[in-house]
Amino acid sequence: MKTCKVKNILAAASVVLLSTLNAQISTACAQGSLTPPGAPAPTMKTLDQIEPRTPVDATHTPGSGNNVFVISQSGSYYLTSNVTAGSGQNAIFIATNGVTLDLNGFTLSSTSESPIATGVLLDGGLSDITIVNGHVKSSITNNGTIFGGTGFGYGIFYVGTPPVNMLVSRVTVSGVNFHGINLGAGYTTVVKLCTVNVSGNTGIFAGMVSDCTALNCGGTAISGYTVQNCYGVSVSDGVGVDAQTAENCFGMGVGNNGGVNAVTAHNCYGLNNTSGPGISAYNVLNSYGSSFTGPGIDSAGDVENSNGGSYNDNGVDAANALNCNGSTYYGYAVKASSAQNCSGISYGSGTAVYVTQTALSCSGNSSSGYGVYAYTAQNCYGSSGSYYGIFAAVAQNCAGSSTSGIGVYALAALNCFGSSGTNYGVYAFDTATGCRGNSSSGTGLRAFIANVCHGTTSSGTALNVTHNVNSY
């Protein structure tokens, strides 16, 4: 009996314990309603919500007057197809500030017989404008220096007051009668990665122009305050590249205009096949200029580490020339107030190195002109076929050679060597000190006072000296 009673008590206790645990487990693992709250709805943003844009079409940007389309509200716009403008029509007219226009790879063209309208025309004085990714194309051609045909007069242009805070990028313009891309002279206008081919006047004009090409331009090809990594060619009376600062540029000009005109030209190549300078700049560094009848490099300031060449004018013409090379036929290969470590060569009757003040460590070679011509020539070498090897008021530590002219010709010659075939090896008006002169059939050394000098000749006079001090 007692055993059965104990068993009954234990069974009852087990039931109570299990029911307690079951209640806790049920409470911990309870589930919510599995019934959906409603139909599924999209959670992603639309493209218009991410980047609100408006198509350029008759519905959203209806035209008026001479404009196929007019953008009159600020915002972002894009083309959905090519646009063809009719007679005297602008393809797109932007009439308000704060507009981004994506040409979206499409082309603006014109069939106008009178090329006076514009691909994209801006109202006067606009700000915060961006135009990208497309083409403006019409049918103007260049026949020598005569531009004519049908289509647009301008690629991208403005009315009245130039725009500010404007960017044009990745746009090509071809065959326009006047300006390709012209944003005016503001400092805050930028054109980059654009190409213009055939424009009757200016190719590209903006505050800053970079990585652009303008070819076959009737006026200046590329113009800006800062022009970098650009290639500009004018085929009429214009400048290739015109800038305050031109860097890594090639420019070709025609007429009296330079290939590259700048205040500072750095790593530039300027070319003019007629009468203008290859490069015309106040400061020229690491550049090359070439011209037919004008100067290769023309500078009122400093020319450094540069080369200039001209057929009938000066190769390098500068106030100060440092580490420069010049070549010419009939002009001065290097002409400067002061020249250091420069080399000049004249293939005709021109002067190789012409310096009005001091020529230091320079070398000049001329067929029949002056090798080195300077007020003071120091550590220089000059050679001439039939004229002076070195001509200076003061020549120090110099060597001059001439086939039939004078090797070294100076007021005072110090430690110099001169050689001539039929004339004077060294000719010093005043004093020759420590000099040696040699002539095949002329006079080896001639001076008023010769101090420790030596003259030699094969068949002429070795020494012609008024006052001889230890010379022979």
* pLDDT tens track for 75-114: 999 999 999 999 999 999 999 999 999 999 999 999 999 9
Dig out the tokens for 29 from the structure. Answer: 């693992």
How high is the pLDDT of residue 143? 86
pLDDT 10s digits, 296-326: 999 999 999 999 999 999 999 999 999 999 9
Dig out the tokens for 328 from the structure. Answer: 């010419």
The rounded radius of gyration (Å) of the Cα atoms in the chain is: 40
Q: Where are the beta strands (DSSP E) in 159-305?
A: 164-176, 181-182, 189-192, 195-199, 204-205, 208-210, 213-217, 222-228, 231-234, 241-247, 250-253, 260-266, 269-272, 279-285, 288-291, 297-298, 302-304
Other CB atoms within a 10 A radius of the CB of residue 3 amount to 7
DSSP string, 410-435: EEEEES-EEEESSS-SEEEEEEEES-
Q: Provide the residue type at 34 as one letter.
A: L
How high is the pLDDT of residue 255? 87
Each domain of the chain, given as residue ranges in start order, spans 50-236, 364-472
Q: Provide the residue type at 441 as one letter.
A: S
Between the alpha carbon of residue 124 and those of residues 16, 42, 93, 313, the distances in Å are 93, 45, 11, 45
Q: Provide the residue type at 5 as one letter.
A: K
Q: Do 221 and 200 touch, CB atoms closer than 8 A?
A: no
Q: N- to C-terminal Cα distance for the chain? A: 159
How high is the pLDDT of residue 15? 45
Q: Do 234 and 217 touch, CB atoms closer than 8 A?
A: yes
Q: Produce one character per residue of 262-284: b if its CB has 16 or more CB atoms within 10 Å, e if not.
A: bebbbbbbbbbbebbbbbbbbbb
What pTM, to 2 d.p., does this model score? Answer: 0.87
Residue 207 φ/ψ region, left for φ over 0, alpha for ψ in the -120 to 50 degree band, beta for the rest = alpha
Distance from the Cα of residue 444 to its chain's centroid: 52
Taking only the tens of pLDDT, the chain with its 472 residues reads: 445 554 554 454 554 444 554 544 444 455 566 666 666 666 666 656 566 899 999 999 999 989 999 999 999 999 999 999 999 999 999 999 999 999 999 999 999 999 999 999 999 999 999 999 999 999 999 987 789 999 999 999 999 999 999 999 999 999 999 999 999 988 999 999 999 999 999 999 999 999 999 999 999 999 999 999 999 999 988 999 999 999 999 999 988 889 999 999 999 999 998 899 999 999 999 999 999 999 999 999 999 999 999 999 999 999 999 999 999 999 999 999 999 999 999 998 899 999 999 999 999 999 989 999 999 999 999 999 988 999 999 999 999 999 999 999 999 999 999 999 999 999 999 999 999 999 999 999 999 999 999 999 999 999 999 999 999 9
Q: Provide the residue type at 183 as one letter.
A: L
DSSP 407: S
Longest Cα–Cα distance of the chain, Å, equals 164
How high is the pLDDT of residue 25? 47
Tokens 């860097």 locate to: 247
Tokens 């070294």 locate to: 408
Tell me the three state secondary structure of residue 326: strand
